């Protein structure tokens, strides 16, 4: 782990005008090897994604945040209300640009996402989940390090792909 780099990571909420940054994060094929939809190569699709995330912020007062190292974009993370197999959940998310992989930062983004989920306004959802493709070993390891438990009973299909679930209660 590069301590200096970890210490210099800071977060801010997504905002209107972040479409280029969102696109940078989601258009890299390397960061989408475990995404059944593949990389988002269309800027318009990234803009629509951002619109949806901003609406979530408006509706629920929490959501996704961008991570920076100095003034350089490093990743994105956060939490959103969702439904999984008819269960209301808060879904965690983390994603780093490849140049920041392997530096131990994924855990920091994961921890920040979990903090967001835990401090969100009270909701019906009391289950926090992280959903990933079975081959996404790095992401599964992040979930484990955050204290989430593997929940094979919650695994399921979405968008023609199989997803595995990790979960933890919102109120410990
Ligand atoms: C998932 C992601 C954030 C992990 O980033 P990373 O920089 O590789 O993660 P870290 O270096 O912090 O490693 C986290 C842990 O996973 C382990 N790990 C990472 N990749 C691994 C691999 N391929 N196999 C086994 N372990 C792995 C690391 O050893 C570390 O565990 P440790 O702390 O016990 O040593 C990054 O790969 C990414 O952004 N991927 C694209 C987006 C994505 O898939 N997001 C998750 C959507 S569900």
Tokens representing 122?
A: 């009270």
- Cβ neighbours for 23, distance < 8 A, ≥ 6 positions apart: 40, 43, 46, 47
Pairing of strands 64-69, 9-13: antiparallel
Residues 34-79: tens digit of each pLDDT: 787 778 788 999 999 999 999 999 999 999 999 999 999 999 999 9
- Structural domains of the chain ordered from first start: 3-169 (3.40.630.30)
Structure confidence at residue 7 (pLDDT): 55
Please work out, in degrees rounded to the nearest 5, the angle formed at the alpha carbon of residue 146 by the alpha carbons of 20 and 39. 30
106 CA to centre of ligand 1 in angstroms: 6
pTM of this structure: 0.92
Structure confidence at residue 78 (pLDDT): 98
Pocket of ligand 1 (CB under 6 A): 31, 34, 94-96, 101-107, 132, 136-139, 141-142
Average pLDDT over residues 111-137: 91
Confidence band of 153 (pLDDT split at 50, 70, 90)? very high
């Amino acid at each position: 782990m590069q301590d200096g780099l970890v210490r210099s990571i800071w977060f801010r909420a997504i905002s209107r005008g972040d479409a280029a940054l969102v696109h940078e994060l989601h258009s890299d094929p390397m960061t989408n090897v475990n995404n059944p939809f593949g990389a988002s190569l269309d800027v318009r699709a990234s803009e629509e994604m951002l619109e949806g995330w901003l609406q979530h912020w408006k509706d629920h007062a929490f959501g996704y945040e961008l991570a920076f190292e100095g003034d350089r974009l490093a990743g994105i993370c956060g939490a959103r209300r969702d439904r999984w197999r008819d269960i209301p959940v808060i879904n965690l998310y983390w994603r780093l640009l490849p140049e920041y992989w392997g530096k131990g930062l994924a855990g920091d983004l994961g921890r920040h996402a979990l903090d967001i989920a835990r401090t969100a306004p009270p909701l019906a959802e009391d289950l926090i989940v992280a959903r990933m493709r079975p081959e996404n070993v790095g992401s599964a390891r992040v979930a484990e390090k955050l204290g989430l438990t593997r929940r094979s009973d919650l695994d399921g299909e979405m968008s023609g792909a199989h997803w595995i679930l990790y979960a933890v209660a919102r109120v410990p």
